[in-house]
Structure 1
Amino acid sequence: MTTAPDGLLPEWTPQSGVLLTWPHEGTDWRDQLVDAEACFALIAGELAQRTTVLVVCRDAGHAEHVRRAIATAGGDPRRVRGYRAPSNDTWARDHGPLTVLRDGRPVLLDFRFNGWGGKYAADLDDGITRAIAAQGAFGGTPLESVELVLEGGSVESDGRGTVLTTRRCLLSPGRNPGLAA
Structure 2
Amino acid sequence: MTYYMPAEWALHDWVWIGFPGNEEEWPATLPDAQRQIAAFADAVHAGGKGEEVRLVAADDANAAIARALVGVGVVVQVEKHGDVWLRDTGPICVTNGSARALVDFGFNGWGGKYVMAGDEDVGARLAAQINLSLTTAPWIFEGGAVDTDGTGLFVTTEQCLLNPNRNPALDKGKIETLLAGSLGLSDMLWLGDGLLNDHTDGHVDNLARFVAPGVLALPEATDADDPNAAIYADARARAKAHGVEVASMPSPGLVLVDGEAIPASYMNFYIGNAAVVVPIYGRPNDQAALDALRPFFPGREIVGLRSDAILAGGGSFHCTSQQMPSA
Tell me which interval the TM-score lies in, with the shorter structure as reference length: 0.7 to 0.9
Q: Call closer, same or farther: CA 1:26–1:109 in 2, change over 3 Å.
A: farther
Match of 1:133 in 2: 127
8 Å CA contact 1:98–1:109 kept in 2: the answer is yes
- The one of 53, 69, 72 equivalent to 1:76 is 72
8 Å CA contact 2:57–2:78 kept in 1: the answer is yes
Q: How does 1:42-121 map to 2 (within 5 A)?
A: 42-48=39-45, 49=47, 50-70=50-70, 75-77=71-73, 79-85=74-80, 87-102=81-96, 104-121=98-115
Q: CA deviation at 1:101?
A: 1.6
TM-superposition CA deviations, 1:39-96 (whole Å, max 9, x none):
01111122232221112212223222212211xxxx223x4141321x2221111222
Q: Call closer, same or farther: CA 1:178–1:103 in 2, change over 3 Å.
A: farther
- Give me the whole-angstrom Cα distance separating, in 2, the residues matched to 1:125 and 1:106: 24
- Give me the whole-angstrom Cα distance separating, in 2, the residues matched to 1:27 and 1:13: 36
Percent of counterpart pairs with the same letter? 33
Q: Call closer, same or farther: CA 1:133–1:27 in 2, change over 3 Å.
A: farther
Match of 2:170 in 1: 179
8 Å CA contact 1:99–1:109 kept in 2: the answer is yes
8 Å CA contact 1:53–1:80 kept in 2: the answer is yes
8 Å CA contact 2:20–2:33 kept in 1: the answer is yes
The answer to whether structure 1 residue 21 and structure 2 residue 27 are counterparts is no
8 Å CA contact 1:113–1:122 kept in 2: the answer is no
Q: Call closer, same or farther: CA 1:161–1:25 in 2, change over 3 Å.
A: closer
TM-score w.r.t. length of structure 1: 0.81
Farther-moved stretch of structure 1 (29-38 vs 18-27) = 18-27
Farther-moved stretch of structure 1 (153-162 vs 93-102) = 93-102
Greater Rg, structure 1 or structure 2? 2
Q: Call closer, same or farther: CA 1:132–1:15 in 2, change over 3 Å.
A: same
| Paired residue secondary structure (1:147) | strand
Moved over 4 A (4+): none
8 Å CA contact 1:54–1:83 kept in 2: the answer is no
- Give me the whole-angstrom Cα distance separating, in 1, the residues matched to 2:54 and 2:141: 21
- The one of 131, 137, 157 equivalent to 1:146 is 137
Q: Call closer, same or farther: CA 1:23–1:118 in 2, change over 3 Å.
A: same
| Paired residue secondary structure (2:88) | helix
TM-score w.r.t. length of structure 2: 0.47
Q: CA deviation at 1:164?
A: 2.1
Total equivalences in the alignment: 168
TM-superposition CA deviations, 1:1-21 (whole Å, max 9, x none):
xxxx83121111111111111
User: Which AA in structure 2 matches 1:170?
Assistant: L
- Give me the whole-angstrom Cα distance separating, in 2, the residues matched to 1:147 and 1:168: 21
The answer to whether structure 1 residue 40 and structure 2 residue 34 are counterparts is no
Farther-moved stretch of structure 1 (120-129 vs 143-152) = 120-129
User: Which AA in structure 2 matches 1:141?
Assistant: L
| Paired residue secondary structure (1:126) | coil
**Any unmatched runs of 5+ in structure 2?**
173-327
User: Which AA in structure 2 matches 1:68?
Assistant: A
| Paired residue secondary structure (1:99) | strand
What is the aligned-residue RMSD (CA, Å)? Answer: 2.1
User: Which AA in structure 1 matches 2:78?
Assistant: Y
8 Å CA contact 1:157–1:163 kept in 2: the answer is yes
